[in-house]
Structure formats: C-alpha cells, structure tokens
Amino acid sequence: MVRAFADQPLDAGTLEALLGLVGRAPSAGGSEGVAFVVLTEAASRAMFWSHASSAEWRDDGEQAPGLLAAPVLVLVLCDPAAYVARYARNDKVSSPLGGLAAEQWPVPFWYVDAGMEAMALLLGAVDLGIGALFFHVRGARTALLAALGCPAELILVGAIALGHVAPTAAHPRAQRRRTAAVHRERF
C-alpha cells in the first residue's frame, strides 16, 4: 500500500487496463451488487477530499500531501439489496440465504464481493507497477455519496487511490512484512 503519490497523471491506457479488471472477481450467486465511482478530474478529487477529510488533516497531516496527489480515486460501493433480491429468486430461494433480510445474513457477501473486486484492482496495479492504497473513507460519507449522485441504498466500503509512486516514498517492499496466519490440519 502506497501513501505517497507523484503529482503525475496515469495514462488513459493504464487506467482502462485497471478498470477492465472490474467484474472479474467472484460475485455471490451472480448478484453483481458492487459498483465503482472513478474520480480523475481535479475538481472531483478535491470535492471527495473536502467530504472525506478535515481541513486540518489536509493542511497539516503528515501523509496528506502524498495521498492528496493521487491522480485517481476509485470508490468501492456495494448494494445489500441486490444480494437479498438475487437470493429471493427461484433458483436461489431454497439456499440457506434464500428469503433472508440483509441483517440476517451470517456473512454479508456484499462486503466479501466488494473486497474481492478491490483486491483485483490492487493486484492489477501491482502488476502494472502502479502505486495503490485501499483506505477507509471518513468524514461526511452520506453527503459525499449524494454529491456524486449515488443511490441512497449503496454503502461506501472504501476507496482506492491509484497513481505513480512518489520518488521520495519508501518502496512498499521495504516496509515490515506481515506473517500469514496459516494453520494446517488444526488451529
């Protein structure tokens, strides 16, 4: 995950290659309840940051300059109602999820699918040598979605910043490596 981007746009071909990965991740039951809003214009990104962060952070935050420089922001959204509706259809209603309200699902697959779609973009960015960061959107989320014209039922899962890595940024591999929690046969 990169937190310092160069103030340099992504070329259109690179961005389109990354966006071509959308829809290739699994979708529970074929529900297809994940959507994206891609912000590339400076005014759109500024509006995003005005809703998603404080003026204090933008002016004084240690990581703000590097993150604010990202030329592309991709908002990851999901629609629980799409999953509930899909699993109410004849071919899915007899499954354990059939007929359940969203709050009754033991695992909310809309978040799982959104995470898989986001991961596809993140891995695609790595493959193309592009910096990427998935992050939680803070601030006025409802106002942000309204300003972007998003339907009210959509949930903003997070955002992905994309761009060239700033030359002064530490290389992501230089950071501490995490240890996977893999257990075999028993925990």
Q: Encode pLDDT of 54-107 as tens digits.
A: 999 999 999 999 999 999 999 999 999 999 999 999 999 999 999 999 999 999
pLDDT at residue 23, rounded to an integer: 85
Percent of the chain clearing pLDDT 90 (strictly above): 83
pLDDT at 171 over 70: no
pLDDT at 19 over 90: yes
Question: Cβ(132)–Cβ(126) under 8 Å?
Answer: yes
Structural domains of the chain, ranges and CATH numbers in brackets: 12-164 (3.40.109.10)
> How many other C-beta atoms are found inside a 10 Å radius of the C-beta of residue 118?
22
Does the global pTM surpass 0.75? Answer: yes
Neighbour-count burial for 32-50, b at 16+ CB within 10 Å, e otherwise: ebbbbbbbeeeeebeebbb
Confidence of residue 169 (pLDDT cuts 50, 70, 90): low
Full strand arrangement of the beta sheet holding 34-39: 34-39, 72-78, 155-163, 131-135
Name the residue with tokens 């995470």. 115
